[in-house]
Every structure is written in structure tokens, then in C-alpha cells.
Amino acid sequence: MKAYLGLYTARLETPARSLKEKRALIKPALERLKARFPVSAARLYGLDAWGYEVVGFTLLGNDPAWVEETMRAAARFLAEAGGFQVALEEFRLEAFELDGLI
């Protein structure tokens, strides 16, 4: 039996003119993402830059099709959150054996 880990990372570019303005765009979008989808999300890099930020989220499940479908839906939701543009994005899906645990 396997478990599947989905990982999504994206560089978000913002029109913000301050860190406070950028945080007001990105932080609520990530909170809405976590409320709507079963993902863990984090601000990863660029927290001290006002023009961009790198964010990511993960999802763990036992069905690779469900993990991938949910990750892509969550990525679309984030892109449509408004106030910023997804400049670059990357998806990964990793499989892990659970045989030693069962």
C-alpha cells in the first residue's frame, strides 16, 4: 500500500507597495485556501520583499488521482484569489510505501 504526497509551490507577484499591503493580499488568500481544501499552506520565501512571495501547500492521501485533482483545484482557487499573479508554479506528486507500517 502507498501514500501519496502532493506538493505545490508558486511565486506570487503583487502590485503591493509595502510589506503590510502584500501581507493583506496573500495571508487571507492562504487562509481561505486552507478553509476550503484539506491542505497545509505556508508562506515560504520573500516575506521581506514587497513585490513577490513564494508560497506552498501540501496534501497527503491514499489515492493519487484524488491528491492530484485536489491540488490542481486548490491551485486554481489560489490563482483566482485576486490581488496577485501566479508567475511560476510547480506541482510534485511523490509515492511512499506503507508496507512496514501495515
Residue 30: what residue type? L
* pLDDT given at position 102: 66
* pLDDT given at position 55: 97
Residue 17 three-state SS: coil
Q: Find out whether 5 and 66 touch, Cβ atoms under 8 Å.
A: no
Cell numbers placing 53: 512571495
Domain ranges of the chain: 1-95
Using CA atoms, how far apart are residues 10 and 3, in angstroms rounded to an integer? 23
* pLDDT given at position 28: 95
- pLDDT digit string (tens) for the chain, length 102 residues: 899 999 999 999 999 999 999 999 999 999 999 999 999 999 999 999 989 999 999 999 999 999 999 999 999 999 998 789 999 999 999 999 988 776
Q: Which helix (H) or strand (E) holds 36?
A: helix 19-36
* pLDDT given at position 99: 82
Query: 1-95: CATH homologous superfamily?
Result: TT1725-like (3.30.70.1120)
Q: Find out whether 79 and 71 touch, Cβ atoms under 8 Å.
A: no
* pLDDT given at position 22: 93
